[in-house]
Chain A
Amino acid sequence: MRLDAILRIVTKMLIPFMLIFALYVHFHGDFSPGGGFQAGVVIAAAVVFHALVFGLYPTQKIVPPRLVTLMMPAGVIIYAGVGFLTLYLGENFLDYDVLSHNHHPEKPNYHAQERGVLWVEVGVLTTVAGTMISIFYAFAGRGKGEDKTK
Chain B
Amino acid sequence: MSEALINTVLLSLLACITIGIVRTRNLFGVVVLSGIYSLLIASVMMVLDAVDVAMTEASVGAGMSTVLLLGTLYLTKGHEMKAFKPPLLPLFVAIGVGAMLVYGTIDLPPFGAADQPVNQHVGPDYLARSKPETGIPNVVTSVLASYRGFDTLGETTVVFTAGIGILMLLRRRRKKDDTLREGEK
Binding site for B on A (CB under 8 A): 25, 29-38, 41-42, 44-45, 48, 52, 69, 72-73, 75-76, 79-80, 83, 93-94, 96, 108, 110, 113-114, 116-117, 120-121, 123-124, 127-128, 130-132, 134-136, 138-142, 144, 146
Inter-chain contacts of B94 with A (CB < 8 A): none
Known contacts A45-B64, A72-B160, A80-B153; decide if A117 and B146 are in contact (CB<8 Å): yes
Complex CA distance for A72 and B166, rounded to whole angstroms: 12
Interface pair B156/A75, CB less than 8 Å apart: yes
Interface pair B163/A38, CB less than 8 Å apart: no
Complex CA distance for A135 and B72, rounded to whole angstroms: 11
Known contacts A96-B146, A117-B146, A136-B67; decide if A32 and B171 are in contact (CB<8 Å): no
Interface pair B133/A108, CB less than 8 Å apart: yes
Interface pair B75/A38, CB less than 8 Å apart: no
Interface pair A140/B152, CB less than 8 Å apart: no
- Chain B residues numbered 126-166 whose CB sits less than 8 Å from any CB in chain A: 132-138, 140-142, 144-146, 149-150, 152-153, 156-157, 159-160, 162-164, 166
Interface pair B52/A33, CB less than 8 Å apart: yes
Partner of B166, one of A38, A128, A138, A146: A138
Interface pair B150/A131, CB less than 8 Å apart: no
Interface pair A146/B145, CB less than 8 Å apart: no
Known contacts A75-B156, A93-B150; decide if A139 and B72 are in contact (CB<8 Å): yes
The 10 closest A-B CB pairs, nearest first, are A110-B135, A131-B163, A139-B71, A138-B170, A94-B149, A33-B51, A117-B145, A113-B134, A41-B59, A33-B52
Interface pair B135/A142, CB less than 8 Å apart: no
Interface pair A113/B135, CB less than 8 Å apart: yes
Inter-chain contacts of B169 with A (CB < 8 A): 138
B16 within 8 A of A: no
Q: Fill in one digit per residue for B49-91: 1 if any A CB lies within 8 Å of its CB, else 0.
A: 0011011100110011001100110110000000000000000
B172 within 8 A of A: yes
Complex A-B: 20 CB contacts under 8 Å: A34-B52, A35-B52, A35-B144, A48-B63, A72-B160, A75-B156, A75-B160, A76-B153, A94-B153, A113-B142, A117-B141, A117-B145, A124-B152, A127-B159, A131-B163, A136-B67, A138-B170, A139-B72, A139-B170, A144-B74
B102 within 8 A of A: no
Inter-chain contacts of B145 with A (CB < 8 A): 35-36, 116-117, 120-121
Complex CA distance for A73 and B153, rounded to whole angstroms: 12
Complex CA distance for A50 and B58, rounded to whole angstroms: 19
Partner of A114, one of B74, B135, B153: B135
B5 within 8 A of A: no
Known contacts A29-B141, A76-B157; decide if A139 and B59 are in contact (CB<8 Å): no
B167 within 8 A of A: yes
Inter-chain contacts of B140 with A (CB < 8 A): 33, 35
| Distance in Å: Cβ of A98 to nearest Cβ of chain B | 13
